Chains A and B, each alone.
Chain A
């Protein structure tokens, strides 16, 4: 067994499932659940107990996914990010994943800290943060679709691209 690619591929998949799984949980479940919970004054259960835990695993799974992906690319890291023909599919997927990671740490998490009261913010700042975090999260759901397609296609070019 070639240990580094084998183990990094396994970790990449495990962490990736956790990252994108939690992203889909936030967008497909929690947004609507929070709206309903706010109507019957039970939102604190989600914002106090669920969201901080989910966000912890979400943001760190994103980092582990990216690092394991970089390890998996190994010597082909440059070929992938430079979109050379032999690595165009996985490279484009890697670019989308990288943009998503930057979105998590640069937009979603800083704004979530304001929303959850981890950092001080006025009500107006919290409302702006809510909108920014929401749109960044939705943007990542949108990017996840081509990203996952290209990740799957990366190792199966003949099936996906006939090349």
Chain B
């Protein structure tokens, strides 16, 4: 399987997915 970081847009998509994950992690930490 190709590493998504080899593609610029693969990197951006991973970053967006990670942002959503962190959003929910932080929301849970805040207790919101």
Question: Is the pairing of A and B real?
Answer: yes
Residue count of chain A within 8 Å CB distance of chain B: 26
Could you tell me if B30 and A89 are in contact, using CB atoms closer than 8 angstroms? yes
Mask of B1-28 contacts with A, CB within 8 angstroms, 1/0: 0010110100110111011011101110
Residue count of chain B within 8 Å CB distance of chain A: 21
CB B19 to nearest CB in A, in angstroms, measures 4
Chain B residue with Cβ nearest A90 = B26
User: Once the chains are docked, how many angstroms separate the CA of A162 from the CA of B31?
Assistant: 10
CB A83 to nearest CB in B, in angstroms, measures 6
The verdict on A150 contacting B5 (CB below 8 Å), with A141-B15, A142-B14, A143-B15 known, is: no
The residues of A with any CB-CB pair to B shorter than 8 Å are 27-28, 31, 83, 85, 88-89, 92, 96, 135, 138-139, 141-146, 149-150, 153, 157, 160-163
